[in-house]
A = this chain, B = another copy of it.
Amino acid sequence: MTTGDADPRHEDEPHPTNTLDDTVHQRVRLGILTIAREADRVDFGFLKTQLAVTDGNLSRHVKVLEDSGLVSVEKGYAGRRPRTWVSLTPEGGRALERELRALRELVRRLDNGPARPGV
C-alpha cells in the first residue's frame, strides 16, 4: 500500500489531529488542564512536582491558559506561605472535552488500523 492509499476507510473524514487545538494539546498545558480537572483548584507547587517542570516554564504555560480563558488563577496564603491556585474554567472543561474526543478517536484509529509490518 502506498501514497494516497493510506487507510482508505478514513480518506473522506477529517483527520482527528485536525481538531486538536494547539493551546490545549501542548504537553505541559494538557497536563495542567487534566490535573486541574481532578480538583476544584490545584496548587502551583503540586502542578510543578507532578509535571516535573520549572517555575518559569509552568508560569508561562499557566499564563497562556489563563489568557485563553481556560483556567483561572487565584493568589492567597496557606498560613503564612503565599500560594497560587489554578482552576479549570467551564470553557477550559469544554476545551479539554474536545481534546479528549480527538485523542480517543486517534487512539481508536491506531488500535484498529493496519499497523506497518515489522513495527
A contact residues vs B (CB 8 Å cutoff):
1-7, 11, 14-15, 17-18, 20, 22, 25, 27-28, 30-31, 34-43, 45-46, 50-52, 78, 83, 85, 88, 90, 93-94, 96-97, 100, 103-104, 106-107, 109-110, 113-116, 118-119
> A96 → chain B, closest Cβ, in Å?
8
Closest B residue to A19 using CB positions: B27
Show 30 A/B contacts (Cβ-Cβ < 8 Å), sorted by A. A1-B38, A1-B40, A2-B40, A2-B42, A2-B43, A2-B85, A3-B43, A3-B46, A4-B42, A4-B45, A6-B36, A7-B38, A15-B34, A15-B51, A15-B52, A17-B30, A17-B34, A18-B31, A20-B27, A22-B27, A25-B25, A34-B106, A34-B109, A34-B110, A90-B119, A93-B116, A100-B107, A100-B110, A103-B103, A103-B106
Contact A52 B1 (CB under 8 A): no
Most chain B CB inside 10 Å of its own CB: which residue of A2, A28, A43: A2
Residues on the B chain within 8 Å of A88, using CB = 116, 119
